[in-house]
């Protein structure tokens, strides 16, 4: 029995999986239509030539940009593509004429590889205060800090790689813009998952996670009225992947993005309620957090290798999840977590099996 009413529709549009796929935060399952779009365009490139084939579907690519823009609050012409979210961030940082040793404020859920990009460029990184034990940014404190100090920009992971909390990005953007500070948002884990129209200056993300598009396609969008003067030029890109992403985004738009967000939030709530405390595994987000990315702290005494071993045991039993090692969010601590991220076609039986398996591995 599917966790949501959309589950049957979502599942029916896809190939039958050989495992219980609870890992959308790594790479969600693409639909048959997305795979067919990718395949047909690659054949067309072989038949007609890559550039001719691209010219023939230019209008379709624009429609896809328009649909993606409706999710993130940007016009089609503001969107450029790269091969990953990290490549999109690099494109932004390489094109941005920042001062020497600029300062960036981040939240404690900041993705580790993003921090590496900042450190490699000699950025001074400062963490913003939190409003609770879960790691939400304290917007009031940030507003007060901005009265006395302004960073060169604020970078926010809307949802991190090792936590299902949803940062209050729109509120951060509001107080930052009042102080004349631009905001860049990593939407890799949020686009297609939670509302992502935030008013941020620059946003970027990837196709392969909650959008259920193909791997190898990332995007970046810059507002024309951005406080950050950045011109991210288009580059040689994976046209078949962009076209397949257009199909994936179109499926979400056809269902209704707000309906998808509500269903995923409900699946996240059900998952947290089902798993919290099982075998002494502890859910790390509020039960009502409006996301379907769920992280579990292991029982006392578990080491990082034990979490990886738990992930592998679950996979051997037919359930795919992620061992979220500490490198994913180094500012949040050194603890490894088990990450569960069901999409719309998750079933209650899969969650029951996961709870049973965790109980056996816990105390």
User: What number is the average pLDDT over the span 242-267?
Assistant: 97
Q: How far apart are CA 342 and CA 351, in angstroms?
A: 9
pLDDT at 293 over 70: yes
Q: What is the mean pLDDT of residues 212-226?
A: 95
Distance (Å, whole) CA 363 – CA 347? 25
pLDDT at 363 over 60: no
7-31+256-361 shares its CATH topology with 33-255: no
CA distances from 244 to 85, 97, 121, 206, 344 (A): 17, 33, 34, 13, 19
Query: What integer pLDDT is reported at residue 1 of this predicted model?
Result: 76
Which one has a higher pLDDT value, 226 or 155?
155
- pLDDT tens figures, 94-107: 999 999 999 999 99
The ranges assigned to domains in the chain are 7-31+256-361, 33-255
Q: For the segment 131-151, what is each residue's pLDDT rounded down to a tens digit?
A: 999 999 999 999 999 999 999
Q: How distant, in Å, are the alpha carbons of 61, 171, 227, 228 from that of 56? A: 10, 42, 36, 34
For residue 237, what pLDDT is reported? 80
Q: Check: CB of residue 161 under 8 Å from CB of residue 190.
A: no
206 bridge partner residues: 218
pLDDT digits 0-9 by tens, 310-356: 999 999 999 999 999 999 999 999 999 999 999 999 999 999 999 99
pLDDT at 303: 83
Closest CA to 281 of 323, 330, 326: 323
User: Which CATH architecture fits 33-255?
Assistant: 3-Layer(aba) Sandwich (3.40)
pLDDT tens readout for residues 180-210? 999 999 999 999 999 999 999 999 999 999 9
The pTM of the whole model exceeds 0.75: yes
The overall average pLDDT reported for the chain is: 95
Exposed (0-12), middle (13-18) or buried (19+): which is 59, by Cβ within 10 Å? Answer: exposed
Among the listed residues 148, 153, 84, the one whose alpha carbon sits nearest the alpha carbon of residue 123: 153
pLDDT at 310: 95
Q: Percent of the chain, pLDDT > 70?
A: 99
- Give the residue-averaged pLDDT of 296-313: 92
What's residue 196's pLDDT? 98
pLDDT one-digit tens code per residue, 47-94: 999 999 999 999 999 999 999 999 999 999 999 999 999 999 999 999
Q: For the residues 149-156, what does the mean pLDDT come to?
A: 98
Structural fold of domain 7-31+256-361: 3.90.1150
288 versus 362: which is more confidently predicted? 288
Q: Residue 236: what pLDDT? A: 75
């Amino acid at each position: 029995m599917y966790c949501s009413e959309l589950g049957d529709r979502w599942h029916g549009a896809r190939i039958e999986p050989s495992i219980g796929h609870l890992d959308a935060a790594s790479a969600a399952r693409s639909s048959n239509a997305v795979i067919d779009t990718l395949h047909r365009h690659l054949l067309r490139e072989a038949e007609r030539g890559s550039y001719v084939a691209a010219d023939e579907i230019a209008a379709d690519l624009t429609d896809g940009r328009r649909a993606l823009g409706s999710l993130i609050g940007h016009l089609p012409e503001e969107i450029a593509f790269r091969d990953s979210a990290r490549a999109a961030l690099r494109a932004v940082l390489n094109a941005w004429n920042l001062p020497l040793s600029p300062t960036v404020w981040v939240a404690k859920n900041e993705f580790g590889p993003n921090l590496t990009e900042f450190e490699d460029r000699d950025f001074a990184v400062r963490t913003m205060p939190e409003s609770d034990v879960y790691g939400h940014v304290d917007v009031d404190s940030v507003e007060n800090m901005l009265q006395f100090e302004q960073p060169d920009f604020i970078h926010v992971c809307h949802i991190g790689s090792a936590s299902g909390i949803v940062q209050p990005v729109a509120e951060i953007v509001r107080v930052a813009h009042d102080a004349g500070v631009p905001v860049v948002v990593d939407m890799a884990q949020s686009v297609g998952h939670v509302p992502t129209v935030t008013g941020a200056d620059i946003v970027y993300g990837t196709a392969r996670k909650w959008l259920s598009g193909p791997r190898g396609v990332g995007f970046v969008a810059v507002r024309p009225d951005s406080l950050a003067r950045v011109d991210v030029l288009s580059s040689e890109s994976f046209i078949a992947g962009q076209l397949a992403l257009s199909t994936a985004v179109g499926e979400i738009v056809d269902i209704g993005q707000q309906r998808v967000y509500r269903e995923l939030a409900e699946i996240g709530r059900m998952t947290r309620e089902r798993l919290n405390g099982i075998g002494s595994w502890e859910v790390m987000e509020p039960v009502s957090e409006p996301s379907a990315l769920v992280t579990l702290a292991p029982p006392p005494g578990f080491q990082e290798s034990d979490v990886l071993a738990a992930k592998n045991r679950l996979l051997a039993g037919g359930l795919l999840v992620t061992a979220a090692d500490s490198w994913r969010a180094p500012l949040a601590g050194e603890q490894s977590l088990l990450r569960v991220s069901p999409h719309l076609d998750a079933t209650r039986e899969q969650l029951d099996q996961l709870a049973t398996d965790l109980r056996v591995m816990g105390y």
